[in-house]
Structure 1
Amino acid sequence: MMKSVFKTLQASRAHSKACNELSRLSDRELADLGIYRADIPSVVAGHRRLD
């Protein structure tokens, strides 16, 4: 059980870090990646593919 809690905590931290890093990019940089600012959480979570 402790392993699953640890893994969940790690995943949550990784998700937050990725969202924060993408949020620091300008709108132009995000557009170059094909990401709208509002889509950052979905992209990080893997719910939206980048084409």
Structure 2
Amino acid sequence: MAHALTANTITFPIIARLRGTIENFRADRALRREYDATCAQLMAMSDRDLNDINIRRGDITDIVRKHVYGA
């Protein structure tokens, strides 16, 4: 029985790290989906509409990156 407990305590940190990695991957993927969707929406706008909100087409990716990732 002691051997079984030792095996469980050894594998637990590995499972916890794996779960953490999966959660981080999912969070990163959700941020990427938000980034892609926001870029697509802004890119679909006309130059006139972008000018109305004071955004140049070349600045879209930088603006969206700051908005989504906070960088």
Which structure has the highest helix share of the two?
A: 2
Instruction: Find the aligned partners of 1:46 and 1:6 in 2 and give their Cα distance.
Output: 20
Distance in 2 (alpha carbons) for counterparts of 1:43 and 1:34: 11
Moved over 6 A (4+): none
Q: Which has the larger radius of gyration?
A: 2
Correspondence for 1:33: 53
Match of residue 20 from structure 1: 40
Question: Is residue 2 of structure 1 aligned with residue 22 of structure 2?
Answer: yes
User: Unaligned 5+ residue runs, structure 1?
Assistant: none
Q: Give how far 1:46 is off.
A: 1.2
Structure 1 vs Structure 2 CA RMSD: 1.2
- Secondary structure at the residue paired with 1:46? helix
Q: What's the TM-score, normalizing by structure 2?
A: 0.63
